[in-house]
Amino acid sequence: MKAARILDAAEELLVSYGYRRITVDEVARRAGVGKGTVYLYWPSKLELFGAVLTRDAARLVADQLDAMRADPAEVLLHRSMRWVFLAIMARPLARAWSTGDVELLGELMTRSRSGMLFAGGKRETTDRYLAVLHKHGLLLDEPSDLLAYRLSAAVTGSFVLESLTPDFDVEDKADALALTVRRAFEPSATPDPSAAAVEVVGLFSDWLSELLGELP
């Protein structure tokens, strides 16, 4: 499929050179298509590379869904945050997004339609996810903007500090994040997460469908 080939080429160039240094011509040449073909799918360079980020996000969500389906305990907040941290650190584009790497992503983080949709979908899914956990006794405090801020501070701090703590390997950092989340947000005794897992998988499946719906 030409669209997939174009996205593959754009992703390779983005990871290698950063958004600002790439032209649509270069993407077309690497994909083996004409420049006009690229514009048949995306109206601008910004939206082309926004689609690259959307596809990367969709793959991450799909992988997390696989993990949750394989083990319902993966929906627990500390397990989920540990999984996400490790998955993002293994993906150059997701890592750049999470660490605010403007050198690599440029205006993709703030101006692309795909980027804004991803941020909105992530916030909505997270809010609903926390509500499900609380309903099933898996979250200490009732979801609120302040709770979301506390969780975001813990997770974002882990990404910000990642490059400043070379003495710890990525598994140690993921474990530290999981322990922090476990102690700060979850009850000491954990109920069976199976019922919550069914609902959480549904939420993430809906989010995945939204992301895939943005791709050609």
Q: What percent of the chain is predicted at pLDDT more than 90?
A: 83
Per-residue pLDDT at 30: 98
| Mean pLDDT score, 195-202 | 98
pLDDT tens readout for residues 139-148: 999 999 999 9
Per-residue pLDDT at 53: 94
- Cβ–Cβ < 8 Å for 28, 181: no
Would you place residue 166 in the very low, low, confident or very high pLDDT band (cuts 50, 70, 90)? confident
What is the C-alpha separation between 91 and 110, in angstroms, rounded? 20
DSSP track, 68-108: HHH-GGGGSHHHHHHHHHHHHHT-HHHHHHHHT-HHHHGGG
Residue 31 has pLDDT above 90, yes or no: yes
pTM of the entire predicted model: 0.94
Q: Which residues are within 8 A (CB) of 23 and not within 5 positions of it... i.e. 6 or more apart? A: 45
What is the C-alpha separation between 139 and 154, in angstroms, rounded? 16
- Cβ–Cβ < 8 Å for 97, 105: yes
Q: What are the structural domain ranges in the chain?
A: 50-213
Side chain identity at 215, as an amino acid letter?
Answer: L
Per-residue pLDDT at 69: 98
pLDDT tens readout for residues 43-84: 999 999 999 999 999 999 999 999 999 999 999 999 999 999
Per-residue pLDDT at 119: 77
Would you place residue 197 in the very low, low, confident or very high pLDDT band (cuts 50, 70, 90)? very high
pLDDT tens readout for residues 76-128: 999 999 999 999 999 999 999 988 888 999 888 878 777 777 778 888 999 99
Comparing CA positions, the residue from 17, 16, 90, 15 lying closest to residue 52 is: 15
Q: What percent of the chain is predicted at pLDDT more than 70?
A: 100
Residue 163 has pLDDT above 80, yes or no: no
- Cβ–Cβ < 8 Å for 27, 13: yes
- Cβ–Cβ < 8 Å for 49, 55: no
Q: Which residues are within 8 A (CB) of 74 and not within 5 positions of it... i.e. 6 or more apart? A: 64, 67, 68, 80, 83, 197
Per-residue pLDDT at 162: 80
Helix (H) or strand (E) holding 53: helix 45-70
